[in-house]
Structure 1
Amino acid sequence: MWEFKKEDILKAEKLEADFKLKEGLKSKLLEEAAIKRGYEVERLGFDTMILILEGEKLLFRDMNGPFSSAAMMRIVDDKYRARKLIEGANVTVPKSMYLRIYEQDKIKAYANDIGYPIVLKPNNLSRGEGVFTNISDADDLEEHLDKIADLIADPYERILIEKQFSGDDYRFFVVDGEVKAASKRARANVVGDGKQTVLELINEKNEKRARDRDLKHFLIPTDKEKLGRLFREGRTLESIPKKDEHIIIRDESNIASGGEGIDFMETAHEAFKSIAVRAIQSIPGFHYGGVDIITNDITKEPNADDYVITEVEFSPGPMSMFHWEGKQRDMANPILDFYLENLDKL
């Protein structure tokens, strides 16, 4: 018979509570928007509810309702298969290959073929989990293959090997053929004051993040194993940056990795907005979602070589509603509007 220590049970309960808080926010935001507009809501669980819109009962998980099918979620969450569909929309995606973890000889050969630096990505994990960037040579690749094998455990699981594209990371939120938000996903960073250490600056910034409804769940980590960019550039947590010196701490740009959203809705070039819309529409029945684009200048009209679409998001986080800088851009009400306009098609 299994015996569980009290501290293990408490730890499990805390992990479950933290998970529910993180995952439930999208659902809560949609619920609040519906109630504010006078619609009834029946809460079923931390991320599921029934919205009653004009007498119709619609089941939602997070912000995904009846138009978001299970088949669509499966395809969109499969980075490689979604990318193949997106390519058909005449937009640029990274050179990539879909291989099983145990096929290390093929992985190494493909890396040599496309050239370093490369990126390794689990095919169906989220929030940047297990993503390794800036892999610079064969030895570095072998080391990170061991890391990703430890994380996933199943040697038959597929991973993406892709050519790294350097630039800034942007998230577009599209609803029914229209971009509702464009945000820069700034990497975890601090700005020096000439006095405090990097660690002190992180702690100071985390105090501010802790007061944010979304970011409080995603503080900048201080675990040295997660601060590769900081150490690669010759700094430590004890380093004291110069006044106004901008220090990038991590390579990952998502919010869950300590990043922050910056509003670019007004300054993003219309061509990029069109690219984001085409990416969403390339997947049959995909009416709203997120599109991640890497580019060096989001304000200028791009050529095919100036950007890549790294993935689309079935259930994007509410980053634009909690921008660190710039105007907040609503996600919940545009989704409500979409369903209200299309009730007769359900």
Structure 2
Amino acid sequence: MRAVSTLETRSLLLRRYAHMYRRFRATPLNFNERRAGFYASYWEDAARQLGACVNRLGDDYLEVARNGSSARVKDNSVDLDTYFSRGLADDKVFVTGLVGELGFFAPRFREYTLRSLSSAVGFLEEVGAPCVVKPRVGSGGCGITTAVNTRRRLIEASLATSDSLTLPALMIEQQIAGDSYRLLYLDGSLLHAVKRGRCTVIGDGLSTIRELVVRENESRLTDSRLQSLSPLTIDLEMKYTLTDQGKTLRTIPDRGERVVVKNVCNQNCRRDQEEVTAYVHGDYAQLASAVGTRLGAHLIGIDVMSEEISASPSQSGSAITEINIPPGLHYHELVEHQHNYSGVGAAVLEYLLRKA
């Protein structure tokens, strides 16, 4: 692959600002009320299980009190971990180094910006396999593009990830085979684990994939049984995922056909998730304990790419891809065939009240 010239870099910057303008003009789907409503119900249910009272403080803050002890929560944020532990967990370069230092495997990576795109091109050549492009600092799954295996895809993915007014630090990393898992630990003890499947839509034999995505988002906002707390967006990740299956947004899937529309799982829904708590190998708890000690953190979500979560990570080739502080708790509730809350909220709240 040839290097990226100065003229190409200037052209990239112009395309980037045009991309930003289109995103600015677009009207995003608003899931704020859906999220706030879910977490209010979630914490109220947990408090009820513990015989505690809930006082709404405003701006979605809740105070939970029991026997003279109290704790405050808001959405997935709890009063356990510091600004510093959260900031360090958001830095993917720091996390990769820490994971390796603790004896676990993290994907190879390289930092770059649009101005140093040739460095990323070189990395793609060295790896000789599909890669992932993502922001260096935590993004909640936004701006991540998988299946980057050509120079053209690398350029397009880098532009898609660059969505702020400054030139953000980007990462290109080796793409790891397997499924995505979220493991939730409290002081090194496993509370819950989910296998986070890729984003899907279900065909009806009449609608295009684009139309199915629109209908999926309508369902997520209106269904009485909560399906997801985020919209399923049409982006470069969706384009590549469909292209690699010989599909486009204009494809009409068969009735009942389950079509994977994104490899990145952050925008998936209830039907794409499966509880796997009983199958997680015990060695992952060592990582959770060590990370908690190093960062001064208690409640930690660990993202793993693995072909066999029940095997030791040292033997299975599993990779640690993210450390999440604070972790999203809704992932452990929006699970196929799960009709009641998992008990995670009550366990976290009990811990908070005992520490208060």
* TM-score grouping bracket, smaller chain normalisation: 0.7 to 0.9
Secondary structure of residue in 2 paired with 1:337: helix
Distance 1:238 1:105 in 2: 34
Note if 1:66 corresponds to 2:66: no
Partner of 1:270: 281
Residue 123 to residue 252, structure 1, CA distance change in 2 (3 Å): same
Distance 1:259 1:105 in 2: 40
Q: Shift in Å at residue 336 of structure 1? A: 1.1
Distance 2:160 2:219 in 1: 32
Q: Shift in Å at residue 176 of structure 1? A: 2.1
Q: 1:291 aligns with which of 277, 298, 302?
A: 302
Q: Shift in Å at residue 222 of structure 1? A: 5.9
Note if 1:116 corresponds to 2:148: no
Partner of 1:162: 173
Counterpart AA for 1:148:
T
Q: 1:94 aligns with which of 101, 104, 107?
A: 107
Residue 242 to residue 57, structure 1, CA distance change in 2 (3 Å): closer
Q: Shift in Å at residue 185 of structure 1? A: 0.8
Distance 1:315 1:325 in 2: 26
| C-alpha contact (below 8 Å) 2:198/2:262 kept by paired residues | yes
Residue 335 to residue 191, structure 1, CA distance change in 2 (3 Å): same
Counting only pairs closer than 5 Å after superposition, residues 104-183 of structure 1 correspond to structure 2 as 104-149=117-162, 151-155=163-167, 157-183=168-194
Counting only pairs closer than 5 Å after superposition, residues 327-338 of structure 1 correspond to structure 2 as 329-338=342-351
Note if 1:43 corresponds to 2:56: yes
Residue 31 to residue 163, structure 1, CA distance change in 2 (3 Å): same
Aligned-residue Cα RMSD (Å) equals: 3.4
Partner of 2:333: 321
CA displacement, residues 255-314 of structure 1 (integer Å, 9 cap, x when unaligned) = 368983211122x24236435634643543211121110011223344356210100111
Note if 1:215 corresponds to 2:227: yes
| C-alpha contact (below 8 Å) 1:92/1:304 kept by paired residues | no
Secondary structure of residue in 2 paired with 1:338: helix
| C-alpha contact (below 8 Å) 1:89/1:282 kept by paired residues | no
Residue 323 to residue 107, structure 1, CA distance change in 2 (3 Å): same
- Say which is worse superposed, 184-193 or 128-137, in terms of deviation: 184-193
| C-alpha contact (below 8 Å) 2:242/2:260 kept by paired residues | yes
Q: 1:252 aligns with which of 254, 260, 264?
A: 264
Distance 1:258 1:264 in 2: 14
| C-alpha contact (below 8 Å) 1:91/1:279 kept by paired residues | no
Secondary structure of residue in 2 paired with 1:322: coil
| C-alpha contact (below 8 Å) 2:147/2:241 kept by paired residues | no
Partner of 2:10: none
| C-alpha contact (below 8 Å) 2:284/2:313 kept by paired residues | no
Secondary structure of residue in 1 paired with 2:72: strand
Aligned residues: 329
Q: Shift in Å at residue 75 of structure 1? A: 1.0
Residue 297 to residue 201, structure 1, CA distance change in 2 (3 Å): farther
Q: Shift in Å at residue 242 of structure 1? A: 5.3
| C-alpha contact (below 8 Å) 1:218/1:258 kept by paired residues | no
Counterpart AA for 1:285:
G
Query: Any gaps of 5 or more consecutive residues in structure 1?
Result: 1-10
Distance 1:321 1:284 in 2: 26
- Say which is worse superposed, 190-199 or 310-319, in terms of deviation: 190-199
Query: Any gaps of 5 or more consecutive residues in structure 2?
Result: 1-23
What TM-score do you get using the length of structure 1 for normalisation?
0.79
- Say which is worse superposed, 94-103 or 180-189, in terms of deviation: 94-103
Counterpart AA for 1:80:
V
CA displacement, residues 195-215 of structure 1 (integer Å, 9 cap, x when unaligned) = 776467656766764426543
